[in-house]
Structure 1
Amino acid sequence: MLKRMLIIYNPVAGQRKFHKLMPVAEQILDEAGFDVTLIPTTEEEKSATAIAKQGVLDGFEIIIAAGGDGTVNDVVNGLMQASKQVVFGVLPVGTTNDFARALGMAKDPIEALQIIAAGEKIKVDVGQANGQYFINNAAGGKITEITYAVKESMKNKIGRLAYLVSGISLLPKLAPKQVRITYDTGVFEGEILLLFGALTNSVGGMEKLCPPAILNDGYMDLLVLKKVSPIKLLKLLASIKSGAHLQSEDVLYVKTKTATIECDTSLNISYDGVYGGETPYKLAVLPEKLTILAEATRIQHRLQK
C-alpha cells in the first residue's frame, strides 16, 4: 500500500527552485512507493501552518516542507498544533536552509529527495516559546531582524547576499538592550546585543556559532552576546570560525532546558528567522518531539547516542 505524502512548497523560494524540480521530485518519490500530493503556500500569513494541520486531518502519513527556513517553521507549527503526530521531512530549496544544514541534508535537491525517499527516520527536539514552536533557533536583538526583514524578491535576486546587505544597513542601529535572562542554572542581568536559544549548530548559514548543539539531547544552547564595542564585536565575529567565541568573557554560553527573557523595553524575537513578537517570553525544549526523515550517518556528531 502506497504511503501518502504531502509536499507543502513555497512557489517563490530559492528563485522558484521547486517549480523546476517538481517533475523529478514526483518521479523519484513515486518510484519509491509514495502517493504524492503537492500543495503550494499562498501569500496569506501562516498558510503553510494551516495546510500542514489540514494535511494531518486528511490522513497524510508524511508531510514535507519544500522551501527555506520560514516554510519549515510554518509547517512545524502546523504539525505541533495537530491532533496527532506524523513523519516530517525537509526539502531545502530556500536561501539559507539552516535547519537542513544541521540535519545533514544534501544541498543538491535531487540527492535530498533520494534521502527522503529512503525513509530513514530520526527523532529531534522542538522548541516552544509563548505558544509558538521552533526547530532551529529562537533569536533576539536588533541584528537578528534581518532574517525576517529581507524581502523575498531581494533573496531571489541576490541569494544569501541579501542578508549581508540588510545586515550592513542595520549595524548603525545596533543598540544594546538591558535584559534579565533566567535559565536552569542561573540568572544573567545586563546589556546585550543579541541572544540565541539554539537547538542546532547552524544559525544564519554559520555552522560554527553553536558547534556543541545536539539535535536530540533535550537542551538548547543559550548564547548571549553582551554589550561590546564595535571593534570587539568584529573580533568576536572573526573568532566564530575557530569556535573561540564560546570562551570569551563577553559571551554567555550554557546548555539549558528553559530560558525566560525579560527586557525593560521592547526586544523582538524571531523563531527560525520568522518574526515571533516581543519580550517577555519563555523558551522550553520538547525532547525528541518530532520524527523526521534524515540519514543518521550524515549527522552522527549532532545526535545523542
Structure 2
Amino acid sequence: MTDHTITLCFHEEAGQVDRDLLNAITATLERDTFSVMELNLAKASNKTITSHFKASEVVIAYGGDGTVHHVLQHLLTLSEPPTFAIIPGGTANDFARTLNMPINPVKAAETIINQQTKQIDVGQFNDRYFLNFFGIGLVTETKQAVSASESKQTFGRFSYYLNSLQTLNAPEEPFSVTVKGDNHTYEGNAMMVMVGNGQYTGGVRAFFNQADMTDGAFDVLIIKNVSARSLFDIVKANITPDPKQLEGIEYFRTSTLDIKTTPPQQIDCDGEDGGVTPVTLKVLPKHITMITGETSLFQNLQNKR
C-alpha cells in the first residue's frame, strides 16, 4: 500500500529524456512507499502542473538547472508547497551539488527515499524566484554571444562563458552600477555582479564557497576590474579563495539588494533569462523544504562554525 505521492517532473521534447533511465528512477522510488506520477513539463499546462503539485507530498525536478528553476516557480505559487527534491540531469547541476545529491540519477532517487530535509532560503525579485544564482554583466553578455560548444560540457556553464569570451576576444566593457545592501553600498563601474544563494556556479565552487542556504542572506560579489583571463584561471583550477582577498572584487552579505545600472543590464537567474535591471532582490528565509544528501555542504559549513 502506498503512503506518499510523488510528482516526477521532467522536460521532454523530441525524445531528449532517456526513457530507460526515467523508468529506473520511477522503479527505485516505488520500491518504498511512494506512488509516482510522471509529468512532462513540455506538454503540461499551468493548471495541470498546479493540480499535480497540490496532490503531491513530494515534487521532484529531474533535469538541469533550467528544469529546477521552472518547477520552483510553480511550487511557490502554492500557499503550502510540497517538499521539493532534485534528481540531477543537466550539465552543471549547481543546486543539486550544494544539496549533496548524488549526480547519478538512480542514486539520487535512493537518497530521496531517506527524506532528509532542510528548510532552504529562496531569492526573489519581481515575481521570480531563484535558488542558486543571480547575475548581470559578463555572464549574460557572453551567454548571448556564443552558442553551446564542447567547452560547456567540459568546464560547466560559468567557465564556458569566460572561455568563450577569450576565444572571441570580446571587449570587456564595464557598466555603471549602484548596488545597495543592508549595510553596504557600492557605486562605480563593474564587469559583473554576482549574487549567490548556493555554493556552485557552472558546476564549480569558485566564488561562493562560504554560501549557506539557511542563513537568510545572499553572498554578493561585484567584479570591478578583474580580467576575463584571471577569472577563467580561478574557475578552471577550481580554486576557492576568500573573495575578500581578491583584487578588483568587492564582497559582502545582505538580505536585500537594490541594483541600478547604466545602461540596463540583462539578468541571468539560475541560467534563465530574468529580464533587465533595475531590480530589487530579497531573501525569503527558510521558505521551502528540500530533500538533501546525507551530509550537505552547507551542513558541513555550519558544523565548522
CA distance in 1, matches of 2:210, 2:21: 34
CA distance in 1, matches of 2:146, 2:199: 22
Matches within 5 A, 1:109-258: 109-145=105-141, 154=148, 159-160=153-154, 163=157, 167-171=162-166, 172-229=170-227, 233=231, 241-258=239-256
Give the number of the structure whose residues are more often helix, by fraction: 1
User: Is the contact between residue 202 and residue 208 of structure 1 (CA under 8 Å) also seen in structure 2?
Assistant: yes
Partner SS, residue 27 of structure 2: helix
CA distance in 1, matches of 2:137, 2:218: 18
Deviation at 1:26, TM superposition (A): 1.5
Matches within 5 A, 1:1-305: 1-11=2-12, 16=16, 18-42=18-42, 52-57=49-54, 59-145=55-141, 154=148, 159-160=153-154, 163=157, 167-171=162-166, 172-229=170-227, 233=231, 241-299=239-297, 300-303=299-302
CA distance in 2, matches of 1:198, 1:287: 14
Partner SS, residue 71 of structure 2: helix
Distance 1:104 1:150, change over 3 A: farther
CA distance in 2, matches of 1:276, 1:42: 20
Deviation at 1:24, TM superposition (A): 1.1
User: Is the contact between residue 52 and residue 63 of structure 1 (CA under 8 Å) also seen in structure 2?
Assistant: no
Deviation at 1:283, TM superposition (A): 1.0
Which whole-Å deviations, capped at 9, do the CAs of 1:58-104 have from their partners, x for residues lacking one?
A: x1111110000011011111111123221101000111100011111
Normalization by structure 1: what TM-score?
A: 0.86
Deviation at 1:41, TM superposition (A): 2.1
Partner SS, residue 297 of structure 1: coil
Normalization by structure 2: what TM-score?
A: 0.86
CA distance in 2, matches of 1:155, 1:117: 36
Distance 1:210 1:50, change over 3 A: farther
CA distance in 2, matches of 1:48, 1:197: 31
CA distance in 1, matches of 2:8, 2:149: 22
**Letter paired with 2:300:** H
CA distance in 2, matches of 1:199, 1:165: 21
CA distance in 2, matches of 1:20, 1:150: 33
- RMSD, aligned α-carbons: 2.9
Deviation at 1:228, TM superposition (A): 3.6
CA distance in 1, matches of 2:86, 2:41: 15
Distance 1:146 1:204, change over 3 A: farther
User: Is the contact between residue 139 and residue 195 of structure 1 (CA under 8 Å) also seen in structure 2?
Assistant: yes
Q: Percent identity?
A: 28
Range moving further from structure 2, 293-302 or 126-135: 293-302
Which whole-Å deviations, capped at 9, do the CAs of 1:13-59 have from their partners, x for residues lacking one?
A: 9x94542311211211111111101111218xxx69765433234x1
Gaps of 5+ in 1: none
User: Is the contact between residue 204 and residue 235 of structure 2 (CA under 8 Å) also seen in structure 1?
Assistant: no
Deviation at 1:178, TM superposition (A): 0.5
User: Is the contact between residue 123 and residue 284 of structure 2 (CA under 8 Å) also seen in structure 1?
Assistant: yes
User: Is the contact between residue 60 and residue 86 of structure 2 (CA under 8 Å) also seen in structure 1?
Assistant: yes
Distance 1:147 1:76, change over 3 A: farther
Which whole-Å deviations, capped at 9, do the CAs of 1:247-302 have from their partners, x for residues lacking one?
A: 12411111110111001212111111111011000111001101011135233224
CA distance in 1, matches of 2:266, 2:13: 26
Partner SS, residue 241 of structure 1: coil
Range moving further from structure 2, 158-167 or 190-199: 158-167
Deviation at 1:197, TM superposition (A): 1.1
Distance 1:33 1:230, change over 3 A: closer
**Letter paired with 2:206:** K
Distance 1:6 1:201, change over 3 A: same
User: Is the contact between residue 5 and residue 36 of structure 1 (CA under 8 Å) also seen in structure 2?
Assistant: yes
Gaps of 5+ in 2: none
Partner SS, residue 180 of structure 2: strand
